[in-house]
Amino acid sequence: MRILGIDCGGEYTGYGVVEQDDEGSLHHLCSGAIRLLPREPLELRLKKICEKLSEIIATYTPEQVAIEDVFYAVNVKSALKLGHVRGVAMLAAAQAGLQVVAYSPLSIKSAVVGYGKAEKCQVQMMVARLLDLPAPPEPPDVADALAIAICHLHTAGTLRRQHATTG
């Protein structure tokens, strides 16, 4: 199974494609961050995200897309911008005919680190270990995107096993 994880952000939108083989091993296929320039008009930043994610989807052909679920933000303006980015990410997936699955930050950290309130550096270290990367992914948005993909692979695998034993 191949998953595109997306960590939506106002300055960086992280992405990562992770594949899990039949033996359950995880493989890192690509990752990076789309840097958004605050001086650019919002519509051009959103266009950049849509184009880059569409390119990644076309190149790596993931089966599904996983993103972080909506959370409550203190700053309304930041939350609104994040909502725009998240909407564009979901649109890029939908245009490619892909299902989008959302996970809470607590679920993502629990699936990857084993602790729902883990620090960003702990997520980075564990993602590097799980994917056998030479160094923790930078910026942290890249590690978060890979963690989201790993979370979905673990969750989907658990659901498949449960269905197999009950079905």
pLDDT of residue 77: 80
pLDDT, tens digit, for every residue of 43-99?
Answer: 999 999 999 999 999 999 999 999 998 766 667 887 888 899 999 999 999 999 999
Which is catalytic among the residues 11, 21, 55, 68?
A: 68
Residues 6+ apart with CB under 8 A from 91: 50
Tell me if 109 sits within 8 A of 26, measured CB to CB.
no
7 is known as an active-site residue: yes
Q: How far apart are CA 63 and CA 139, in angstroms?
A: 25
Q: Which fold has domain 2-166?
A: Nucleotidyltransferase; domain 5 (3.30.420)
The predicted-structure confidence for 116-162, as pLDDT tens digits, reads as follows: 888 999 999 999 999 999 999 999 999 999 999 999 999 976 656 56
Query: How many residues would you count in the chain?
Result: 167
Rounded to the nearest 10 degrees, the angle between the axes of helix 140-166 and helix 105-112 is: 80
Report the 10 Å Cβ neighbour count for 97.
Answer: 7
Q: Among residues 7, 21, 22, 144, which one is catalytic?
A: 7
Tell me the pTM: 0.92
Greatest alpha-carbon span in the chain: 54
Active site residue 141: yes
Stretch 7-15: mean pLDDT: 92
Catalytic residue from among 23, 40, 43, 141: 141
